[in-house]
Structure 1
Amino acid sequence: MTPLDLTALPDPVDVSDNSRALAEVAAVVTAGPFDATWDSLRRYTPPRWYEDAKFGIFLHWGVFSVPAFRNEWYSRDMYREGTPEYEHHIATYGPHREFGYKDFIPSFTMEHFDPAAWANLFRRAGAQFVVPVAEHHDGFAMYDTDRSRWSATKMGPERDVFGDLLAAVDDAWMVRGASSHRAEHWFFMNGGTRFDSDVLDPRTIDFYGPAQREETAPNERHLEDWLLRTVEIIDKYRPQVLWFDWWIEHPAFAEALKTLAAYYYNRAAEWGREVVINYKWEAFPDGAAVYDVERGALAGIRPVVWQNDTSVSKTAWSFVEGHDYKTVAEIIAELVDVVSKNGVLLLNVGPKSDGTIPEPEQRILEGVGAWLTRNGEAIYGSQPWTIPAEGPTEQQVGSFIDGAAPAWTSADIRFTSRHDVTGTYVYATLLATPDDGVARIRAFGSGSGLLPRPIRSVEVLGTGPVNSNTGGLNAFEDTPADGSGPVSWRQTPEALEVTIDGEVGPDSGPVVKIWLAPERPTERTDALHG
């Protein structure tokens, strides 16, 4: 592995005077419609396209994909004495003063990167939007930045891989996004200041710095740099999703966050686009942006849309050797649980340093896509139902709870719904297939009190003849109450019992769709047919 040639580096970028750039930001904020106050930012409304999308792809890619050891925090932990990364680094690459993190950059070539192939894979997976990491904690920009020489356009692949991928996302009719982890760079490399390492080399301070102590609040220069790097991503790439990691909740970021949010929302208004900011914990007040839970779950239905960001791997977000991958069934269970509670799932993959997506991750995405092809009407554009779930299996809630998936049973069910002029449709997704071939849904029993009107028809998605409305006059014909017809079912006071005929696929139980009678069928039929 060839170390970085410091004599061949581009010249450092002078970012000491930010006054003009900050004035331009202030002008956009002043122009409105949002100003840099929480009261103004609480007027934000999440876009309908995002609420309907339900599923997006996240990408963690970067220099950390070269060592591919343990996780994407290699650049921090390799400089922390006593960690497995520290010991691995010395044993594999030698002393830190001779081979540091920067020396992985020449091997970060992405020579097989095919943005169109990636975008087509994400489209087949059923994703509606794509959020690549623009810059991770390590400070290496994956986009074309004018604020640093340490970027993929100037080193490593020497290509705007970020921009090329977003262009391919556009071509595949998905929505482009971006994530920034720049805030954490304030302290990220500071372990290397505590012993003889290349972090102390003044020739590379613009890469490793600030490398300050995590106990200290970031100073004005770092806050300005964070703001202007984020503004640069907004203006150059026009992402419609902007995702932030946790450290923006540090109180020192509050004023910069308000300015950034007002700038982004105002710029989006200029473009005629609706946008989303994702935040964790308490970085934003309710209503000012979209709440994000990392690798988590909520206990019930959140009244406004939220997001769960998770990964195909239980081990790491980036590519590493020896991943502990989730199964497609585990990911489908996460997806339907999130959607049943008014959420959106952002699912991460981690490309290799050569620009390929690992085959196991491709297979997982294809599996998710196959399930959504059969059952997507229970997900896309759906709304929460009266209750999100039923079943005996206890579910953990909060963040970082996806390490050990529950052993779901066929009695564990998640509910979604949709409404139009032909009536109400309620979907029950069983998280496992019943051994006896009969789905039993207690919430649909005549004694549950949860169904406001009689059941008109029952269908199992993706298993054969349709026995429900697809439009037309026959949409209002009753299915016989004894369940005779294409799908055999009966409603008792205790449950709706549906016989599952046909293959439902290996990655979840059946999805049962019921159609409830319209309140005023005659008028609604007339509305359908003019």
Structure 2
Amino acid sequence: MRFPEIRRRAVGAQLLMVLALGTVGSAIRNKGCYTPDWPSLDSRPLPDWFDKAKFGIFVHWGVYSVPAWGSEWFWWHWKGQGAPQYQSFMQNNYPPDFSYADFGPQFTAHFFSPDDWADLFLAAGAKYVVLTAKHHEGFTNWPSSRSWNWNSKDVGPHRDLVGDLGTAIRKRNIRYGLYYSLLEWFHPLYLRDKKNGFKTQYFVTAKTIPELYDLVNRYKPDLIWSDGDWESPDTYWNSTGFLSWLYNVSPVKSEVVVNDRWGVNCSCHHGGYYNCEDKFKPSTLPGHKWEMCSSIDKLSWGYRRDIVMSDIADEAEIISVRHLLAPISN
């Protein structure tokens, strides 16, 4: 499925993803104090709105929408893995000294119209929308003070994409969530911690935790979709400390929902609702609230110019998702 209305209005247009959630009953809000440990945090019931939401839309949008080739993991495949096809793509299309950062100014979002997007989401029946505030490339779609000259205010669009879309979404009474990658592939502090076996937390202290606090205090998201946790334990990310603050003190403590990607071995075990893995389709109804998150493009979560019709989920696959959800929705 393609969305020509969006493609005309956004430079480096994004691909929309379907989020389908399953429920196992209505949650009763717990007003207790949650301590920074998993037994306590896991005892928090999810807010009622998530039980009722059923369907949402996931928007992957970032600097990777400029080369728009391969997938949103373009930078990693090019520089992290040195994949030959990505090397050839760059050699054939860009000067020898062209860096990934040079894509930043080209990410202009010149025709971005938040109200048009929000109207489309509303017409699609979405009850919540999740935008990538920051993907693994580290570029932030809001003016983060911890991402100097690598954010949407300083470079490219020169506007607050997270804030602008959030305003439009909430005008239409749609819940607004933010995706945030804990790691950044090539951030020097992250690489330093990684070299130290994640026994130091230079990156977490200087970047991750301050940005998470900033996102919550500034935009008051209804949902935080955490990702990029797979290389290190939750203790490195200080996940339980952040979630304890989120549930007890933050301005969204009563309404916020989170997923389960907060460190190695957390997925499908700890957090709010479970994603477990990308495109998770359980064979039986889980005993814990879960979300099936899938992309329309079989090969990428973000827009790419090299997509062909066979890469798009066909009707049978889309219908199978509906069949999966039918007993839950009823």
Name which of 172, 177, 197 aligns with 1:217.
Answer: 197
Name the structure 1 match of 2:94: 93
What residue identity is the alignment partner of 1:295? K
Secondary structure, counterpart of 2:211 in structure 1 = helix
The aligned counterpart of 1:228 is: 210
Matched, 1:36 2:36: yes
Residues 260, 87 of structure 1: alpha-carbon distance in 2 compared, 3 angstrom cutoff: same
User: Which residue is 1:28 aligned to?
Assistant: none
Q: Determine if contact 1:246/1:279 at 8 Å carries over to the other structure.
A: no
Structure 1 residue aligned with 2:62: 62
CA distance in 1, matches of 2:115, 2:208: 30
Counterpart CA distance in 1 for 2:151 and 2:267 is 29
Please give the per-residue CA displacement for 1:193-242, whole angstroms capped at 9, x wherever unaligned. Answer: xxxxxxxxxxxxxx666445967533311122211211111111111111
Query: In 1, are the aligned partners of 2:189 and 2:202 still within 8 Å (CA)?
Result: no
Q: Distance in 2 between matches of 1:211 and 1:147?
A: 17
Aligned match of 2:152: 152
* 1:297–1:338 CA contact under 8 A, matched in 2: no
Matches within 5 A, 1:295-314: 295-314=279-298
CA distance in 2, matches of 1:271, 1:252: 22
Q: Say whether residues 1:261 and 2:262 are aligned partners.
A: no
CA deviation profile, 1:398-426 (whole Å, cap 9, x unmatched): xxxxxxxxxxxxxxxxxxx3xxxxxxxxx
Given candidates 254, 272, 278, the residue that maps to 1:294 is 278
Distance of aligned partners of 1:76 and 1:231 in 2 relative to their CA distance in 1, 3 Å threshold: same
- Counterparts in 2 of 1:214 and 1:326: CA distance versus 1, 3 Å: farther
Q: Work out the CA distance in 2 between the residues paired with 1:253 and 1:286.
A: 15
- Is the CA contact 2:204–2:236 (under 8 Å) kept in the aligned structure 1? no
Task: Tell me, in whole angstroms, the C-alpha distance in 1 between the residues paired with 2:225 and 2:83.
Answer: 32
Q: Residues 214, 318 of structure 1: CA spacing in aligned structure 2 closer, same or farther, 3 A cutoff? A: farther
Question: 2:174 is matched with which residue?
Answer: 174
Q: How far off is 1:251 after superposition?
A: 1.7
Q: Aligned residue for 1:53?
A: 53
Q: Is the contact made by 1:144 and 1:151 (CA closer than 8 Å) also made in structure 2?
A: yes
The residue correspondences of 1:425-444 to structure 2 (distance < 5 A) are: none
Post-superposition shift, 1:309? Answer: 1.3
Relative to structure 1, the CA distance from residue 315 to residue 82 in structure 2 (aligned partners, 3 Å threshold; closer, same or farther) is closer
Q: TM-score, length-normalised on structure 1?
A: 0.51
SS in 2 for 1:179: strand
Q: Which one-letter code corresponds to 1:289 in the other structure?
A: G
Alpha-carbon shift at residue 144 of structure 1 (Å): 2.1
Higher share of residues assigned strand: 1
Task: Give the paired residue count.
Answer: 290
Distance verdict in 2 for CA 1:135–1:238, change over 3 Å: same
Corresponding residue for residue 22 of structure 2: none
The one-letter amino acid of 1:100's match is S
- Native 8 Å contact 2:130 2:176 kept in 1: yes
Alpha-carbon contact 1:176-1:240 (below 8 Å) kept: yes
How much has 1:328 moved relative to structure 2?
4.5
Question: 2:104 aligns to what?
Answer: 105
Alpha-carbon distance between aligned partners in 2 of 1:215 and 1:298, rounded to the nearest angstrom: 36
Deviation >6 Å, runs of 4+ = none
Do 2:38 and 2:270's aligned partners in 1 also have CA atoms closer than 8 Å?
Answer: no
User: Alpha carbons of 1:141 and 1:274: their partners in 2 closer, same or farther (altered >3 Å)?
Assistant: same
Give how far 1:53 is off: 0.9
Distance 1:212 1:89, change over 3 A: farther
Residue equivalent to 1:373:
none
Conservation of the 8 A alpha-carbon contact between 2:193 and 2:203 = no
Q: Which has the higher contact order (CA 8 A, sep 6+)?
A: 2
Change (3 A) 1:255 1:101: closer
CA separation of 1:140/1:250 partners in 2, compared to 1, >3 Å: closer, same or farther?
A: same
Compute the displacement of 1:339 (Å). 5.5
Q: 1:148, 1:261 → 2: CA distance? A: 23
In structure 2, stretches of 5+ residues that fail to align are 1-31
Q: Structure 1 253/143 Cα, relative in aligned 2: closer, same or farther at 3 Å? A: farther
Letter in 1 for 2:226: F
TM-score (norm 2): 0.80
1:337 pairs with one of 316, 319, 324: 324
- Deviation readout 1:82-117 (Å, 9 max, x if unpaired): 43112211221132xx21000011111000100011
Could you tell which deviates more after superposition, 224-233 or 60-69? 224-233
CA 164–208 in structure 1, closer or farther in 2 if over 3 Å, else same? farther
Correspondence list, 1:463-474, <5 A: none
Q: Aligned partners of 2:242 and 2:316: how far apart in 1?
A: 39
1:252 positional shift: 5.4
Rounded to whole Å, the distance in 2 between the matches of 1:327 and 1:102 is 35
Residue identity matched to 1:86: Q
In structure 2, what is the Cα distance between the partners aligned to 1:110 and 1:275?
Answer: 29
Q: Write the distance in 1 (CA, Å) between the matches of 2:75 and 2:47.
A: 36
Is the 8 Å Cα contact of residues 240 and 273 (structure 1) preserved in structure 2? no
Q: Is the CA contact (8 Å cut-off) linking 1:145 and 1:151 kept in structure 2?
A: yes
Q: Are 1:277 and 2:258 matched, yes or no?
A: yes
- Per-residue deviation, 1:33: 2.1
The amino acid across from 2:90 in the alignment is: H
Cα 1:304–1:335 shift into 2, 3 Å: same
1:352-388: per-residue Cα shift (whole Å, max 9, x none)?
xxxxxxxxxxxxxxxxxxxxxxxxxxxxxx3xxxxxx
Cα contact 2:234–2:240 (8 A) shared by 1: no
Alpha-carbon distance in structure 2 between the residues aligned to 1:89 and 1:249: 28
CA drift at 1:259: 0.7
Larger Rg: 1
